[in-house]
Structure 1
Amino acid sequence: MTNDLSARCAVALRDALRSGEVSPVEVLDAHLAAIAVQNPKFNAIVTLVEDQARASIAALPAAGAQSMPLYGLPVVIKDVTLTKGIRTTFGSPAYKDYVPDEDAAVVERLRKAGAIILGKTNTPEFATGANTVNALFGATRNPWNPELSPAGSSGGSAVAVATGMVPLAQGTDFGCSIRIPAAFCGIVGVRTTGGLIPNRGMRLPWDGGQVHGPLARSAEDAALMLDGMTGLDPLWPISAAPPWRSALDIVQRFDNAKGLRIAYVSDIAGFGVDKEIDDICRAAVLRLERDGAAVEEVAFSAADGFAPYKVLRGEWMVGQQFERLDMLDRFGPNLGGNVRDGLKLTVRDTAAAENMREKVWRTFCDLFGKYDYLITPAAPVPPYPLTKDFPDEVGGHTLDNYIDWIAPAFLVTLVGFPAASVPGGKTASGLPVGLQIVGPRFSEPQLLGLSKLVQAANPVGWPTYA
């Protein structure tokens, strides 16, 4: 990266904008120049709205730099999230020309915080897939090796941030969709507590499974974006106000892990994990002992949640697409197949799944009664070839579908706890490896505080091909 402004982190850009060192137009121009160079290589941004971004800058209040947390910062939005006046395709040919007439609540919040919406990022059709590819825009490539996948479904957002096209990006996460793309791209991503960021603009208002979250190059940047995304929405049924004033303030004061009890588990799903990944993650966690943490490798399994997640995911798929059930033949085989599988479920199936989910949740509660945080590998394998929908095997276990390998992430989704993904090192071939840090509900600032310490001890640098 040679462009100084596009290489700066979001917090540094915010400070430069507040001091008057740079203007929002200069920041925008720097990132547009980065997009012109990087996007043709990686296909992360599928809709660019330069004119609207310039209009948004012109409308910024003169005194906003001091009061708006994201003042003048370019942000991109995952292409399943509604954006007023900006094409939103859901990664589906059936919606290739769809332009919403309203923003999702999270986009409203980002605009109110001063963010400049610059475009939409690639995603598999309706975010259904662990590889970011669709029939409308093709595949997004990993900036550490363009022949590899950035994972999904927020792969476009992760790549845009990792390559300096934007300092911040919004993503969504139901199974792994923020956490594993962050891990594969060497950046930070946060699956937030359900209700912390209002989901208005999505279906299923009472659902806490799919959440919005930030993708950023540092823990501090992710906290800054979180401050611009959270807040009580009195019209959203499960909305909750954050129990902190500023996540960024907490993260910036987080200087050590003294007194924290951390449990490391290499495989919560029982599917196995690549040995090199496990070794790198374990070493990164043990380095937290230098910051005062007490780290213990423990025996812990959430494998009983495997079947319940699949059932509840099937119910969720049908609910998400309920008004489009007569369009299934127009959707790709992945999305269509998932919905058809969900339609086979019975009430007994979902009731049994909820019953087992409660039991798995209690095992997590028991763990958090002894430890403050759980850390696992964010993904059990390194980035895999772009031509594959999913890796063939994990730890010697042969896979036959694209869901199983993301179990370390979706088992956390199942029980509703937040998790941060942070780079903890690189493989011998130079690919980033991510840690998943899991904590109690509304512990996002603390998760990012730990992430800051991990990043400081295990810097991975810029992607090789960016």
Structure 2
Amino acid sequence: MSDSLCHRTAGELVALIRTREASAREVVQVHLEQIERLNPEVNALVSVDPERALAAAAEADERLASGAEVGPLHGLPIAHKDTHDTAGIRTTYGSPLLADNVPDRDELVVERLKAAGTVVVGKTNVPEFAAGSHTFNPVFGTTANPYARDRSAGGSSGGAAAALACRMQPLADGSDMGGSLRNPASFNNVVGLRPAPGRVPTWPDAAAWSTLSVQGPMARTVSDAALMLSVIAGPDDRSPLSISEPGSVFDGPLDSDLSGLRVAFSLDLGGDLVVDPQVRAVLEPTAQVLADLGGAVEEAWPDLTGADEVFRTLRAWQFELALGELRDAHPERIKPSLRDNIDAGRALTGADVGRAERLHTELYHRVREFFTRYDVLALPVSQVPPFDVELEFPTEIGGVAMSSYLDWMRSAYWISATGCPAISVPAGFTPEGLPVGLQLVGPHRSERRLLEIAHAFEHATQHVTTLPAVATR
């Protein structure tokens, strides 16, 4: 059994540990061995501490043996995103300015996962300060895609997604401003859920009222993503946006009848998105899959006018708020694209931010009305398949030039601006064997139904079972 433990789902591992068919030490040890074998090839995990992890696993076994109450993720190994503060463990944010930073407390998502019984094995690699959807930084280097190591693993939760694909951990936490849970999930054939703002409360947070950036689960299956969401969701007074509904609403089987599901399907949002032909070719058949599941599929899309301005304006404002002082103190030690975003935030006027907020409100109401006619919107997660690992970002799509490192991510960040929950679920592969995800978007705070739809799609297609060759050795 030990040979297959790292290939078991999180739900299966929890059951094995609880029934003592496997110990937490065995589960953690097998994953550490997988990390030792594969991490040098993909560079997904950083600051790995095997001794600390095995000691924590031994404590988990002792707690279970004593008859004490244990959490829903008891004994599962996890590496936290390297932008999530973790007490006593090096947390660098991918920046040389924080290369030796060791926080003295956990942030809320880490606190909740630890309380649920997880065992920390290390951190997952990120872009510098999580800026951009390609994981590279001057502290730890670049994370490679397990399906093709000359391609990007995406970002900013790229290390998390690559580690999941390589079976180095069963679950991963992440964050998403413009696609950082969804793009890497698409690139690595795993699942990434961007919840509605407040579903997973964040603390500490310098912009606690902002709805742009959220935290959420990544997993190898939709059921595992729901299991993790049940732990990290739920109210907390430290977050003013916190949703009062408990995380327990995501417990239990996701099987559901999709008969009559009203599906809006669009590959390019009416021509507003430039989409790589290979992505189109992979996603075109998914409309029929949704129809076969009982959905009434129509080509339709919401009016996302203003989403680009909303996202770019509020993103620039938020980056200046978070990193402006560091930019002043160490301008030469922050990557140029990040400096540009901070400077764009400083150039904003009150009128600029006010206009963005007005457009944001108008966008919310148009999308809210759209979802009175449809239950779910299906569209690409990413406009491109995994790109050359040596590029900072795709410079063109189908011959159309991309003017900035954000342009190619519109299919993800326009959805961020709506505040709607969105999930990336594996949808197939290009002729080169590169993963492509389908993005499913639901009405405001509809994560449970969205997970049920994604679960049905996952079972109908079974793309999640296709492992990268590196993970089958």
- TM-score, normalised with respect to structure 2: 0.94
Partner deviation per Cα, 1:43-64 (whole Å, 9 max, x = no partner)? 0011112222233224333267
1:336 aligns with 2:330: no
1:118 aligns with 2:117: no
Shift in Å at residue 66 of structure 1? 7.2
Following the alignment from structure 2 to structure 1, what is the Cα–Cα distance between the partners of residues 327 and 245? Answer: 36
For 2:452, the equivalent position in structure 1 comes to: 449
For 1:321, the equivalent position in structure 2 comes to: 323
Which sits farther off after the overlay, 60-69 or 95-104? 60-69
Return the letter of the residue paired with 1:424. Answer: A
Return the letter of the residue paired with 1:317. Answer: F
Mapping 1:25-424, distance limit 5 Å: 25-60=25-60, 61-62=63-64, 67-242=70-245, 245-249=248-252, 252-268=253-269, 270-329=272-331, 330-424=333-427
Following the alignment from structure 2 to structure 1, what is the Cα–Cα distance between the partners of residues 265 and 68? Answer: 41
Shift in Å at residue 65 of structure 1? 8.9
Return the letter of the residue paired with 1:320. Answer: A
Following the alignment from structure 1 to structure 2, what is the Cα–Cα distance between the partners of residues 194 and 446? Answer: 16
Partner deviation per Cα, 1:66-121 (whole Å, 9 max, x = no partner)? 75211111111110110000000010001100000000011000011111111101
Asked if structure 1 preserves the Cα contact closer than 8 Å seen for 2:381 and 2:411, the reply is yes
Following the alignment from structure 1 to structure 2, what is the Cα–Cα distance between the partners of residues 99 and 416? Answer: 33
- Indicate how the Cα distance of structure 1 residues 306 and 293 shifts in structure 2: closer, same or farther if over 3 A, else same: same
SS for the counterpart of 2:410 is helix
Shift in Å at residue 218 of structure 1? 0.3
Following the alignment from structure 1 to structure 2, what is the Cα–Cα distance between the partners of residues 167 and 214? Answer: 11
Number of residue-to-residue matches in the alignment: 464
Aligned counterpart in structure 2 of residue 463 of structure 1, from 442, 456, 468: 468
Following the alignment from structure 2 to structure 1, what is the Cα–Cα distance between the partners of residues 459 and 68? Answer: 28
Following the alignment from structure 2 to structure 1, what is the Cα–Cα distance between the partners of residues 312 and 350? Answer: 14
Aligned counterpart in structure 1 of residue 437 of structure 2, from 426, 434, 437: 434
SS for the counterpart of 1:170 is strand
Asked if structure 2 preserves the Cα contact closer than 8 Å seen for 1:418 and 1:442, the reply is yes
SS for the counterpart of 2:152 is coil
SS for the counterpart of 1:422 is strand
Following the alignment from structure 1 to structure 2, what is the Cα–Cα distance between the partners of residues 334 and 282? Answer: 34
Following the alignment from structure 2 to structure 1, what is the Cα–Cα distance between the partners of residues 206 and 246? Answer: 26
Asked if structure 2 preserves the Cα contact closer than 8 Å seen for 1:104 and 1:202, the reply is no
Partner deviation per Cα, 1:412-445 (whole Å, 9 max, x = no partner)? 1112111110011111221111011111222222
SS for the counterpart of 1:147 is strand
Shift in Å at residue 323 of structure 1? 4.3
Shift in Å at residue 362 of structure 1? 2.2
Shift in Å at residue 171 of structure 1? 0.7
Partner deviation per Cα, 1:320-369 (whole Å, 9 max, x = no partner)? 12443433413222222211121111111111111112222222112101
Partner deviation per Cα, 1:171-224 (whole Å, 9 max, x = no partner)? 110001010000000000001111111210332121221111111110001111
User: Can you give the 5+ residue segments of structure 2 that lack an aligned partner in the other structure?
Assistant: none
Return the letter of the residue paired with 2:158. Answer: G
Asked if structure 1 preserves the Cα contact closer than 8 Å seen for 2:233 and 2:247, the reply is no
Runs of at least 4 residues off by over 6 Å: 63-66
Shift in Å at residue 160 of structure 1? 0.6
Shift in Å at residue 392 of structure 1? 2.1
Asked if structure 1 preserves the Cα contact closer than 8 Å seen for 2:327 and 2:334, the reply is no
How much identity, in percent, do the aligned residues show?
A: 38
Following the alignment from structure 1 to structure 2, what is the Cα–Cα distance between the partners of residues 285 and 261? Answer: 12
Return the letter of the residue paired with 1:259. Answer: G
Asked if structure 1 preserves the Cα contact closer than 8 Å seen for 2:426 and 2:436, the reply is yes
Return the letter of the residue paired with 1:376. Answer: L
RMSD: 1.9
Following the alignment from structure 1 to structure 2, what is the Cα–Cα distance between the partners of residues 295 and 20? Answer: 46
Asked if structure 1 preserves the Cα contact closer than 8 Å seen for 2:28 and 2:57, the reply is no
Asked if structure 2 preserves the Cα contact closer than 8 Å seen for 1:131 and 1:152, the reply is yes
For 1:19, the equivalent position in structure 2 comes to: 19
- Indicate how the Cα distance of structure 1 residues 255 and 193 shifts in structure 2: closer, same or farther if over 3 A, else same: same
Return the letter of the residue paired with 1:168. Answer: L
- Indicate how the Cα distance of structure 1 residues 300 and 276 shifts in structure 2: closer, same or farther if over 3 A, else same: farther
SS for the counterpart of 1:215 is strand
Following the alignment from structure 1 to structure 2, what is the Cα–Cα distance between the partners of residues 65 and 166? Answer: 25
Return the letter of the residue paired with 1:265. Answer: S
- Indicate how the Cα distance of structure 1 residues 220 and 366 shifts in structure 2: closer, same or farther if over 3 A, else same: same
Asked if structure 2 preserves the Cα contact closer than 8 Å seen for 1:150 and 1:383, the reply is yes
- TM-score, normalised with respect to structure 1: 0.95
Shift in Å at residue 458 of structure 1? 2.0
Following the alignment from structure 1 to structure 2, what is the Cα–Cα distance between the partners of residues 433 and 379? Answer: 8
Asked if structure 2 preserves the Cα contact closer than 8 Å seen for 1:71 and 1:115, the reply is yes
Asked if structure 1 preserves the Cα contact closer than 8 Å seen for 2:70 and 2:117, the reply is no
Asked if structure 2 preserves the Cα contact closer than 8 Å seen for 1:89 and 1:96, the reply is yes
Following the alignment from structure 1 to structure 2, what is the Cα–Cα distance between the partners of residues 104 and 407? Answer: 29
Following the alignment from structure 1 to structure 2, what is the Cα–Cα distance between the partners of residues 214 and 82? Answer: 16
SS for the counterpart of 2:315 is helix
SS for the counterpart of 1:456 is helix
SS for the counterpart of 2:438 is strand
Return the letter of the residue paired with 1:314. Answer: A
Following the alignment from structure 1 to structure 2, what is the Cα–Cα distance between the partners of residues 147 and 365? Answer: 41
